[in-house]
Amino acid sequence: MYALVFCALLAFLPIGGGPAPAPGGLAMMEPVATARALDGTELLKIGDIHDAQNHYGEALTYYRQALTAFQSRKQRRGEAMVLEKIGQIHVRQGNMQEAYEILTRAVAASRRLSDPLLYARPLLALGDVSFSLGRAEEAHESYRQAGMVFERTGDRHGYNEAMLQRGRLQLAVGRQEEGLALLNRALEDARKRNDRRQVVTAARVIGDVRLEGGDGAAARLLYQEALIQAESERDLRAEADLRLRLARLSHQAGRQAEGLNLAHRALTLYRTLRDRHHEAEVHRLLAEAYQAVGDAAVAEDHRREAAMVELSLRIQEGR
């Protein structure tokens, strides 16, 4: 009897010293290999996702890892692309000196490649950063070169953007006639292509020039055109700025009801954008408008709100 039991147990033991079958007769799984490291392209895509969500810290982390991966494999195209993206994040964060240094590297890296647009895009961005840093000559040269590349490749949007920025630069250095000529050409081209963002920029800048020259009626028409396009693009920043401009014009013209509607909407937008400086400015304008229509109590409320916001800003800035 013991011999029979022993033989029965042997039937369930593995033969040849191999692993015992898993319950249910399934073979045991081999251990899964360690996951491979992400390559530069994959890291770049993850960075793009964070960038699109305005998660700049996370985006920079992945972009820098992608840059290291591209450089280690001598993938110059990827290196140029990720340098431009890092530079653009610094621009959006207001870190212009860092943006200038990174975009200079992006231009140098892309210059050696066969893709002209990959060279023109960071060159255009470098022009914007140079402009903001007061390096007018460098900015003009970047815009000029970028415009030539865009024109040669048939990129009308890029060519017009370079022309638009050259126009703004000419205004900034006191060459108003040349600047307006470029801006008017850029506005007409943007209208023909229904490029809403470029229409917003060009019309707003030309409107500012007209207003400074005393032509409030022309400025109003340009601001209204830009506002329609900004709303279509859901560009909250541009919409808020344009509504504030139009509210001031309405207030100055004695059209208080219209101005109040514009100003209240601008106030809502600036609060959404968490722009406290402009929020205080709108409160001041609302105080003047309500005072003009005889509502002293509401006017005082807005003066008080403006003072509170300004005090909060001074505390934050340590003044």
Q: What confidence tens digit (pLDDT) does each residue in 200-218 have? A: 999 999 999 999 999 999 9
CB neighbourhood size of 124 (10 A): 22
DSSP string across 233-302: HT-HHHHHHHHHHHHHHHHHTT-HHHHHHHHHHHHHHHHHHT-HHHHHHHHHHHHHHHHHTT-HHHHHHH
Across residues 112-127, what is the average pLDDT?
Answer: 94
With respect to residue 28, please indicate whether it lies within any of the assigned structural domains. Answer: no
Across residues 139-153, what is the average pLDDT?
Answer: 96
Q: Is the pTM of this model over 0.75?
A: yes
With respect to residue 107, please indicate whether it lies within any of the assigned structural domains. Answer: yes
Q: Does the pLDDT of residue 70 top 70, yes or no?
A: yes
Residue 47, domain extent = 40-154
With respect to residue 86, please indicate whether it lies within any of the assigned structural domains. Answer: yes
Question: For 166-188, what is each residue's pLDDT tens digit?
Answer: 999 999 999 999 999 999 999 99
What burial letters (b/e) apply to 232-258, b meaning 16+ CB within 10 Å? eeebbebbbbbbbbbbbbbbeeeebeb
- Predicted pLDDT of residue 151: 96
Average the pLDDT over each of 6-20, 74-88, 208-222 and give the range with the smallest value.
6-20
Detail the DSSP E strand segments found in the chain.
Answer: none
Q: How many domains does the chain have?
A: 2
- Predicted pLDDT of residue 54: 83
Give the rounded distance of the alpha carbon of 131 from its chain centre. Answer: 17
How sure is the predictor about 45, in pLDDT bands with cuts at 50, 70 and 90? very high
Across residues 106-131, what is the average pLDDT?
Answer: 94
With respect to residue 35, please indicate whether it lies within any of the assigned structural domains. Answer: no
With respect to residue 178, please indicate whether it lies within any of the assigned structural domains. Answer: no
- Predicted pLDDT of residue 99: 97
- Predicted pLDDT of residue 23: 42
Residue among 248, 245, 253, 256 nearest 292 (CA): 256
CATH code of the domain covering residue 103: 1.25.40.10
What residue type is 93 in one-letter code? Q
Question: For 219-241, what is each residue's pLDDT tens digit?
Answer: 999 999 999 999 999 999 999 99
Give the residue with greater pLDDT, 154 vs 317: 154
Which of residues 90, 122, 154 is at a domain's end? 154
With respect to residue 13, please indicate whether it lies within any of the assigned structural domains. Answer: no
Which of residues 104, 131, 154 is at a domain's end? 154
How sure is the predictor about 36, in pLDDT bands with cuts at 50, 70 and 90? low
**What CA–CA distance (Å, rounded) separates 311 from 81?**
43
With respect to residue 45, please indicate whether it lies within any of the assigned structural domains. Answer: yes
With respect to residue 150, please indicate whether it lies within any of the assigned structural domains. Answer: yes
Q: Does the pLDDT of residue 290 top 70, yes or no?
A: yes
**What CA–CA distance (Å, rounded) separates 179 from 172?**
9
CB neighbourhood size of 89 (10 A): 21
At 115 the three-state DSSP class reads coil
Which of residues 154, 177, 206 is at a domain's end? 154
- Predicted pLDDT of residue 318: 78
